[in-house]
Amino acid sequence: MLIPREGRPDEPRVAGSPETTRRLVGKGCVVLVESGAGQASGFSDQDYRQAGAELVKDGWGHCHVALCVGAPDAGRLETMATGSIVIGLLAPYGNQALVNQLNRRKLSSLSLELLPRISRAQAMDALSSQANIAGYKAVLLAAAALDRYFPMLMTAAGTVQPARVLILGAGVAGLQAVATARRLGAVVHVSDIRSAVKEQVESLGGRFIGPPRVAERPAEANGYAKQASEDFLAAQRQQLSDQLALADVVICTAQVPGRRAPRLISEAMLDRMRPGAVVVDLAVNDGGNCAATVPGQTINRKGVRLIGASNLPCTVPYHASSLYGRNLAALLEQYLQDGVLQLDPRDPLLKDCLLTHNGHCHRDDVVNASESV
């Protein structure tokens, strides 16, 4: 089993920590760790060695199972033995080139983005563990960029009113953003197309903005928000316009897996926001919830700061890697027998996330999705 260095220079995370390495060794696995794999996340080679791993320079041609954060490049996959397994966040939507190579090499692959949202899979949910970090860090970025305090302060010079934070989307990232902004003392309002999340928002101290009253109200499917109709989104934008005019900070988290993010904030709506306000767009890589945001850039638009927060989990690599490694370990432990990983494609847990197996793609609906990002 291999824990490699990630191929992208801007990816500091690693697919296993010394803690999870120790867990896998205890299950009978021989764990290979490429030298320096965990350095950017705060894990030294010595930490892995003490956990029972074997340090190697290049392990792709010597492993039966490769654990990764992002999809490996083509050169690495070419060196893997037929029948080996690749597990990670493989970005499968519309990724025909990756699937073709996996099939040609007869490599099995598990894409963690496709894990079902069921109770049994909660400990393995890598999207949620990373989204938690993104929601937390988005609020800290906004607080650092804002021109005023977050909390209410009673001072000798007078009372400072708390910042007003508006969060778009009450998924994992949105709810963590609510909790973090409340800890910092802000007044938090949350907009989501699903009325069912109202209780969760209010339990964290947020104030829920109900969806607009139109004929079609999207709910959710398999734990994810459904794609909303354009009529519904137009009504929601009208409702949001007045809220945005009052907001000091806006955190955008609304995303639909495999599709472009809904455009919730238009140029006209930005024109109503006060100079000094801040927008953090977590959906910027998928098209963005906010007009004019750019991945990885902060733009000053008529005094409103637009932050294109493209990959916030990478800014907290120690905990992002620790949690991601635990997600992987929880998944692997379901199928490890005496150090050997045995996959059963009929298992309900694997049915959705098994991307390729024995030279065939099991999720053509994902790879060939006509509206993929």
Of 111, 125, 129, 322, catalytic: 125
In Å, what is the CA distance from 180 to each residue of 14, 93, 139, 305? 26, 31, 7, 20
Q: Is 109 a catalytic residue?
A: no
Cβ atoms of residues 305 and 29 within 8 Å = no
The catalytic position among 22, 117, 183, 259 is 117
**What is the 3-state secondary structure of the chain?**
CEECCCCCCCCCCCCCCHHHHHHHHHCCCCCEEECCCCHHHCCCHHHHHHCCCEEECCCHHHCCEEECCCCCCHHHHHCCCCCCEEEECCCCCCCHHHHHHHHHCCCEEEEHHHCCCCHHHHHHCHHHHHHHHHHHHHHHHHHHHCCCCCCCEEECCEEECCCEEEEECCCHHHHHHHHHHHHCCCEEEEECCCHHHHHHHHHCCCEEECCCCCCCCCCEECCEECCCCHHHHHHHHHHHHHHHHHCCEEEECCCCCCCCCCCCECHHHHHCCCCCCEEEECCHHHCCCECCCCCCCEEEECCEEEEECCCHHHHCHHHHHHHHHHHHHHHHCCCEECCEECCCCCCHHHHHHEEEECCEECCHHHHCCCCCC
Of 149, 224, 318, 335, which residue is the catalytic one? 224
223 burial level (CB within 10 Å; 0-12, 13-18, 19+) = middle
Q: At what angle do helices 317-332 and 18-26 cross, to 10 degrees?
A: 10
231 is catalytic: no
Q: Which of 44, 96, 122, 161 is catalytic?
A: 122
**Residue 149 annotated in active site:** no
Check 128, 176, 191, 227 and give the catalytic one: 128
Does 122 participate in catalysis according to the annotation? yes
147 neighbors 304 (Cβ within 8 angstroms): no
Query: Is 117 among the residues known to form the active site?
Result: yes
Residues noted as catalytic: 117, 122, 125, 128, 224
